[in-house]
Structure 1
C-alpha cells in the first residue's frame, strides 16, 4: 500500500493522531540527523514526507492521473523508464514519480536524469538532488541502474518540453541514444512510458527568444495566460492525464560491446521512440475530452 493510501485527516478535516505523530517523528529525525542520504544526495525521508505530499493533490485531484501498465516495471532490479516530454514545465516527470512511488506494487522511487540547467538554478538544483535526481550523463545512469534503481529519462529534452502547441504529441528527436547504451551496459530493461494530458496544461503559442537568452533559459513561453496574468498564468490547466508503462524491452540478449555499435543504438532508440509514439496515438484516439478524459 502506498503512502497516499494512509489516512491523514479525520472526517472533520482535522489531522489524525497518526498524521500528527508522523509529522513530529519526521521533525525529530531532521533535528537529530537520524536520516540517510546516498552518494548522489538523495534523501528518501525528505522525499516521502515533504516532496511527494506536495505533489499528491495535483496527481489525484487536479490532473486526476490514471496510471496503467505498472506491472511492466520491475519490482527489484534496475530499469530505464523512457518517456515523452511536454508541457512547458516538467510536471510530466513529477507525476510519473508519484505514479511509481504510490501505485507500483512495491512503491518504487524514480531517479530522474536532469539537464545541467536544472542543477544550476538556485534552490531547484538542491531540491532535485535531495529528491533523487542527477545529471543526465551515462556514468551516473549506469551507477544507478547497476545498483538496482529505476532511472527515468526524457530523451526529447528541452525540444520536447518546449515545443509549440501545434506540435503536441509529435515526438521530437531522441538525441544520440545514450540512454540505450547505458541500459545495454548494465543489462537493464527499457520500459517505454507514454504520457497524455501534459501537452495541454500550458498551450505554448510563442517563444520570446531574446528574453530567453537574457535569462539564460532554453525558451520563454507565451501561453494564453502567461505572462499576461503574471504568477496566476503559471497555474497549469486541469487536464485529464493518462500514464501508460509499456512492455519492457530486453537488453541482455546483445553481445558484449554491442553498445558501441552506433547503428544498433540508433535502431533500438528508434524502436523505443516509435513504441511511445504509437501508444500516444492510441491513447489520444480513446480520449473524448482534454479535461474529462
Structure 2
C-alpha cells in the first residue's frame, strides 16, 4: 500500500485548491500532527513533543482519489468495531447499496407483504379523505371506499376463518349489468346476508358488489342504520330495488324476511312463505335475471329453541330469541357457533323474454315466485345430503 499523507482539517481545503501545499499547518492542528517522510527527506515536524491526535481523514498520495466514506480513516477499534465481527444479516444489503434505509425498507416489505411505503401512504391518504370529507357516497348512502378498505376487512375473518364459507356457482352472477339474487334467510341474526355480500365481493371475477334490501327495523337502530347504509343496504321497497337494477347493480333480497330469520330450530331449512312475489315483478320490469341462492350453515349458529313474546313486545322486536346460550350467558351468548357454511348461486332464471307489462300478470308472477322458491328448497336439500357435519 502506498504511503499516505495525513492532512489536518484546516489544511485539506487549501490542498484541494492547490495553494499552500508545502506550508506547515497552523494553530492547534500543527501541535499534534506528524508527517510522513517525503521522498528521501527527513521527518518534518519531528521536534513536536505532543502525541499525534486522531486524524480526521487519511487520503492516498493521489490527491484526486478522495475517500467517499468520512469514517474511512478512523481505526476500526475507535469506531467500536471488532475485527471478528462480520456484517449483520439485516444490514448486509445496506452495506452493498450504501443505505441502511434500503435494508430496513426491504425487511418491512417482507413483513408487510408489499411495498410498505405505498401501504402507509395509502392509509394516511384514506384517513385524510375521511377527515376532510373528500369521499363520495351515492343517493342511498353507499360508501364504496369504506366498504372495500374497512368493512369488508372486518367481515372477512368471519367468512374465511370462522365460518369457512365455501362458495359455489359464483360464475352465475353476470360480469356486468343488473341481476337479482334471491336467497333463503335464517340464523336468528342476519349474518347470512353479510356473508353472502362478502362471497360476491371477494369471489366474483369482476369483484361485483351485492346491494342488499333490508327491513325497516335495520334503519331504525342507531349505528346499525349507518353501517347498513355504508355497506350499500337500502330499504326493501320496489322503488329502491328497481332504481338499483336499472343502474346495473347486483341486488340481493331475502323474501322470507323475519319469518325465516326467527323461525324455530325445529323448522330449520324449511323455507317460509315468499310473500306476494314483489321481487319477481321488479325483475320483470327491469328485465334482469333472477339468481336463486342457497345458504347452508347459518341455521345452526344460534339454535333458537324458544321465543319470548313479552320481551319482543317491550323492545319492539319481531321476536326475542331464546337459545342454549342466550340470554343465559349474557354477552357471551351472542357469540355464534362456528358452523361450516356453503353458499351456492344457482342457474339464472331469465326475465328479459317477457314484455314489461308482464309484471302486472299475477299468475306469471306467482309461477315465477314458486319456481324460485322450489329451486332454493331443492338445492338446500342437496347441500344437506352432501354435508358431512355441521362443523366440518
Q: TM-score category by the smaller chain?
A: over 0.9
Are residues 1:39 and 2:142 paired?
Answer: no
The structure with more radius of gyration:
2
Are residues 1:259 and 2:359 paired?
Answer: yes
- Which residue is 1:4 aligned to? none
SS at match of 2:379: helix
Measure the CA separation in 1 of the matches of 2:266 and 2:278.
28
Q: Please give the TM-score of this superposition, normalised by the length of structure 2.
A: 0.70
SS at match of 1:243: strand
Are residues 1:80 and 2:180 paired?
Answer: yes
C-alpha displacement at 1:15, in angstroms?
A: 9.9
Measure the CA separation in 1 of the matches of 2:334 and 2:356.
48
SS at match of 2:380: helix
- Which residue is 2:320 aligned to? 220
Superposed CA offset, 1:196-232 (max 9, x none): 0000000000000010010000000000100000010
C-alpha displacement at 1:20, in angstroms?
A: 3.4
Q: CA RMSD in A?
A: 1.6
Measure the CA separation in 2 of the matches of 1:206 and 1:19.
48
C-alpha displacement at 1:11, in angstroms?
A: 7.3
Higher relative contact order (CA 8 A, sep 6+): 1
SS at match of 2:318: coil
Measure the CA separation in 1 of the matches of 2:356 and 2:212.
26
SS at match of 1:108: coil
Are residues 1:230 and 2:330 paired?
Answer: yes
- Which residue is 2:220 aligned to? 120
- Which residue is 2:282 aligned to? 182
SS at match of 2:181: strand
> Which one is further off, 9-18 or 134-143?
9-18
Number of aligned residue pairs: 284
1:1-293 equivalence runs, <5 A:
17=116, 18-292=118-392
Measure the CA separation in 1 of the matches of 2:314 and 2:196.
32
Measure the CA separation in 1 of the matches of 2:386 and 2:152.
30
Measure the CA separation in 2 of the matches of 1:16 and 1:236.
37
- Which residue is 1:3 aligned to? none
Superposed CA offset, 1:133-174 (max 9, x none): 110000100000000000000000000010000000000000
C-alpha displacement at 1:256, in angstroms?
A: 3.1
Superposed CA offset, 1:233-258 (max 9, x none): 00010000000000100001112311
